[in-house]
Structure 1
Amino acid sequence: MKHFRDTILTCACMWLLSLSDICLCQPRSPQQGLQVPCFFIFGDSLVDNGNNNGMLTLARANYRPYGIDFPQGPTGRFTNGRTYVDALAQLLGFPTYIPPYSRARGLDLLRGANYASGAAGIREETGSNLGAHTSMNEQVSNFGETVQQLRRYFRGDNDALNSYLGKCLFFSGMGSNDYLNNYFMPDFYSTSSDYTARAFATILLQQYGRQLAQLYSLGARKVIVTAVGQIGCIPYQLARFHGNNSRCNEKINSAIQLFNSGLKRMVQNINGGQLPGAKFVYLDFYQSSQDLSSNGTSLGFDVVDKGCCGVGKNNGQITCLPLQQPCQDRHKYLFWDAFHPTELANILLAKATYTSQSYTYPINIQQLAAL
């Protein structure tokens, strides 16, 4: 934690950060350009940048106050400004944001696409309580369609295409909704009565392993996979749970830890030769979210237990309402709404995971990009 805190606090521009600035508190990379030719993103609302906009779903964020600090306004990002992958793309040297798959066309696909969808999960039924979304299975299928389109630009030369994709970076952040909008929602799903927490984690990991193997078969080689964050401590849970010895719902956190430890072992196995030529990095969002919350004041966050906007106790019951007035000092809040971090939290985490190994295993993201 000390290394992470020192890394962040020595960013001289942090306190002067303009939320529309590209500064990110980082020195420019020596190569002053793209570190990977393309960036492909899979996940849920933490990294969705507009794929749900045209869907019939409650998991949408294409209205104010979402995007209030984003240069393009409300785009479908579930925060006030940039997401973690937006900030990471800038650190990797991309001059513009990676487009959502729903709007990516033609040559745009050569630099990547974002397939993430709010409410999506590893399991197909996850998130159906909120309406339409694109599950991980469908996101992988959409990437398969992208590969078919890209093949035209390589004149059908599969070796050249595979070589190109092998240099690209892939990000996959899945699992949160399989707990929030599935296992711990017994009124809508039977999984918590069908499986113990350990059995559910095992099944999730088996399904996720197959999905990641499919990405590998389509050309993915340099892959970031994220642990599920400490969602027993997000404002949504804090507004509902009052433990005897903790303000968090440790039952949820304990279940998540089973999944996370299994995911890290999966990364070890893949890097050990299970998928020849692949290099995976495990991104520990659980530990980072725990550290950001417990050490928030030293990082400039005055409020770590409620959202900048939302309704109900501690702004923790639902996401932001259309045209709702958010808090004024957004840089002082760790959470934007009941579920999602603010732009500044995303930027700080992107910086920490890019340049250090505080939360990455076995190497950091900058090192992965350089392979």
Structure 2
Amino acid sequence: MGSHGIHSLTFTILSFLWLTSMESCFSQVDQQDPQVPGFFIFGDSLVDNGNNNGILSLARANYAPYGIDFPEGASGRFNNGLTMVDVLAQLLGLPNLIPPYARTRGPALLRGANFASGASGIRDETGNNLGAHVSMNQQVANFARVVQQMRRAFRGDNNAMNAYLSKCIFYCGLGSNDYLNNYFMTSFYATSRQYTPAAYAASLLQDYSRQLTQLYQLGARKIVVTAVGGIGCIPYQLARVNPRNRTANSQCNEDINKAIYIFNSGLLNLVKSFNNGRLPGAQFVYLNIIESAKDLVTNGAAYGFEVFDKGCCGVGRNNGEITCLPLQRPCPDRSKYLFWDAFHPTEAANIILGKKAFSSNSATDEDFLNLESYAQKETCSEELLVETLVKKGLQGVSLLSYGSTSTSPTNVKLALT
């Protein structure tokens, strides 16, 4: 992501926390109080909201018609509007959408940051075919820098800082590009010749386990981990699938889907091991995004969808051979499309997926607690408790911030029907 300027910002965090708690206590009746103090996001283009805007990469979405339904326009989100984590942020009652780490500084970091980067993966080399990106290893390193800033702000009081971080939610959604832009891109990568699908999944899970453990060591306790979706069925693959890889019941690339199944099965077992004492005090949620997406297709009419195999914006067969081009005219009614482009869901799909992840009680959607029961609601008294925890070390401190420009967090309210 390049080097960032270092700015010194002196502020009274105690006053900031007091103002935050007062804002929560005296909010309008129809405004939901935050259920968590912060939300930190790690992932790829499915949740990237602008971290790739300033780097040399083909994996960028800061041009029209991306963002056509987003109030700020082309923000760097890889669809027409909100991502799934935007929806989750709203459902968690957070006052603003979580800003990208590349443009976040100072006290805003206490409320969370989005570290996700388009084309990124669990492996460092994943996505190199598209240019620069921020891999999961680098995303974790960026969060470590944030923790260092927070530690200075808490005057070295690790107990107070860890108490704060233990209430935050950490979202991790990676792995898709390790298959799309690595293992199954045989002209650019050798991994498919070096590993069987099972061995590759095992290697990915070993790396991912280390990365998730590092987040735990940095203070994360409530961690949401998403399964890799059915990427053998996205328009990009439907436009390219070899007929011999199709089955009588599917037009998808089942070779990819079978490989994904191996990875997801191992990921579920990894999450179970974390919850069963491997990482004491950790609470993991496993989101089975494949089953949620299958429901959107199976019951598409009930959700208002009519088109499941084509992107709303793109070029070629299934609008999936080339992704959405600058100034290209997209479909007029995005609400009827499951996919925005060759790879990414529409805002309409993300709203449904976010709501299902947050509150569904179906075992086919989430194999553990849903986020609604996972997030403990922060009342006004709990906000004041956080203030008390950090009172002795947070007055008049200097918080070093890393960022290119100063921006206000996006404030977009959802009408979730």
- TM-score, normalising length from structure 2? 0.81
Residue of structure 1 equivalent to 2:373: 367
User: What is the rounded CA distance, in whole Å, between the counterparts of 1:288 and 1:146 in structure 2?
Assistant: 33
Alignment partner of 1:320 out of 318, 324, 330: 324
Q: Deviations over 1:88-110 (max 9, x none)?
A: 00000011110100001000000
Q: 1:193 aligned to 2:188?
A: no
User: What is the rounded CA distance, in whole Å, between the counterparts of 2:266 and 2:294 in structure 1?
Assistant: 19
Counterpart residue type for residue 120 of structure 1: S
Instruction: Note if contact 2:292-2:356 (Cα within 8 Å) is conserved in structure 1.
Output: no
Residue of structure 2 equivalent to 1:257: 261
Residue of structure 1 equivalent to 2:393: none
Q: Deviations over 1:273-307 (max 9, x none)?
A: 00000000000011112222232223210101000
Within 5 Å, give how 1:26-105 maps onto structure 2: 32-105=32-105
SS at structure 2 position matched to 1:361: coil
Within 5 Å, give how 1:141-220 maps onto structure 2: 141-220=141-220
Task: Give the unaligned 5+ runs of structure 2.
Answer: 1-27, 378-417
Structure 1 range deviating more: 360-369 or 322-331: 360-369
User: What is the rounded CA distance, in whole Å, between the counterparts of 1:114 and 1:357 in structure 2?
Assistant: 27
Structure 1 range deviating more: 281-290 or 327-336: 281-290
Deviation at 1:319, TM superposition (A): 1.7
Residue of structure 1 equivalent to 2:132: 132
Residue of structure 1 equivalent to 2:14: none
User: What is the rounded CA distance, in whole Å, between the counterparts of 2:222 and 2:163 in structure 1?
Assistant: 12
Q: Deviations over 1:304-324 (max 9, x none)?
A: 100000101110112210011
Instruction: Note if contact 2:293-2:353 (Cα within 8 Å) is conserved in structure 1.
Output: no
Counterpart residue type for residue 77 of structure 1: R
Instruction: Note if contact 1:173-1:226 (Cα within 8 Å) is conserved in structure 2.
Output: yes
Within 5 Å, give how 1:285-304 maps onto structure 2: 285-304=289-308
- Percent of pairs with identical residues: 66
Counterpart residue type for residue 328 of structure 2: Q
Q: CA RMSD in A?
A: 1.4
Alignment partner of 1:268 out of 261, 272, 279: 272
User: What is the rounded CA distance, in whole Å, between the counterparts of 1:54 and 1:31 in structure 2?
Assistant: 34
Query: Which aligned runs of 4 or more in structure 1 are off by greater than 6 angstroms?
Result: 28-31
Instruction: Note if contact 2:226-2:288 (Cα within 8 Å) is conserved in structure 1.
Output: yes
SS at structure 1 position matched to 2:93: coil
Deviation at 1:148, TM superposition (A): 0.7
Structure with higher Rg: it is 2
User: What is the rounded CA distance, in whole Å, between the counterparts of 2:53 and 2:76 in structure 1?
Assistant: 6
User: What is the rounded CA distance, in whole Å, between the counterparts of 1:244 and 1:229 in structure 2?
Assistant: 19
- 1:257 and 1:55, CA in 2 relative to 1: closer, same or farther beyond 3 A? same
Q: 1:356 aligned to 2:360?
A: yes
Task: Give the unaligned 5+ runs of structure 1.
Answer: 1-27
Structure 1 range deviating more: 238-247 or 266-275: 238-247
Counterpart residue type for residue 156 of structure 1: G
User: What is the rounded CA distance, in whole Å, between the counterparts of 2:130 and 2:192 in structure 1?
Assistant: 19
Instruction: Note if contact 2:44-2:121 (Cα within 8 Å) is conserved in structure 1.
Output: yes
Structure 1 range deviating more: 242-251 or 61-70: 242-251
Q: Deviations over 1:24-54 (max 9, x none)?
A: xxxx999930000000000000000000000
Deviation at 1:69, TM superposition (A): 0.4
SS at structure 2 position matched to 1:225: strand
User: What is the rounded CA distance, in whole Å, between the counterparts of 2:164 and 2:209 in structure 1?
Assistant: 23
SS at structure 2 position matched to 1:108: helix
Deviation at 1:367, TM superposition (A): 1.1
User: What is the rounded CA distance, in whole Å, between the counterparts of 1:129 and 1:37 in structure 2?
Assistant: 37
- 1:250 and 1:162, CA in 2 relative to 1: closer, same or farther beyond 3 A? same
Instruction: Note if contact 1:36-1:369 (Cα within 8 Å) is conserved in structure 2.
Output: yes
SS at structure 1 position matched to 2:156: coil
Q: Deviations over 1:43-88 (max 9, x none)?
A: 0000000000001000000000000000111000001000000000
User: What is the rounded CA distance, in whole Å, between the counterparts of 1:360 and 1:367 in structure 2?
Assistant: 12
Counterpart residue type for residue 187 of structure 1: S
Instruction: Note if contact 1:230-1:287 (Cα within 8 Å) is conserved in structure 2.
Output: no
Deviation at 1:357, TM superposition (A): 2.9
User: What is the rounded CA distance, in whole Å, between the counterparts of 1:240 and 1:304 in structure 2?
Assistant: 16
SS at structure 2 position matched to 1:188: coil
User: What is the rounded CA distance, in whole Å, between the counterparts of 2:320 and 2:237 in structure 1?
Assistant: 7
Instruction: Note if contact 2:312-2:337 (Cα within 8 Å) is conserved in structure 1.
Output: yes
Counterpart residue type for residue 40 of structure 2: F
User: What is the rounded CA distance, in whole Å, between the counterparts of 2:375 and 2:82 in structure 1?
Assistant: 21
User: What is the rounded CA distance, in whole Å, between the counterparts of 1:183 and 1:297 in structure 2?
Assistant: 35
**Number of residue equivalences:** 344
Residue of structure 2 equivalent to 1:14: none
User: What is the rounded CA distance, in whole Å, between the counterparts of 1:324 and 1:191 in structure 2?
Assistant: 35
Q: Deviations over 1:194-220 (max 9, x none)?
A: 000000000000000000000000000
User: What is the rounded CA distance, in whole Å, between the counterparts of 2:350 and 2:247 in structure 1?
Assistant: 31
Counterpart residue type for residue 371 of structure 2: I
Instruction: Note if contact 1:48-1:114 (Cα within 8 Å) is conserved in structure 2.
Output: yes
Instruction: Note if contact 2:201-2:263 (Cα within 8 Å) is conserved in structure 1.
Output: yes
Q: 1:119 aligned to 2:119?
A: yes
User: What is the rounded CA distance, in whole Å, between the counterparts of 1:176 and 1:230 in structure 2?
Assistant: 9
- TM-score, normalising length from structure 1? 0.91
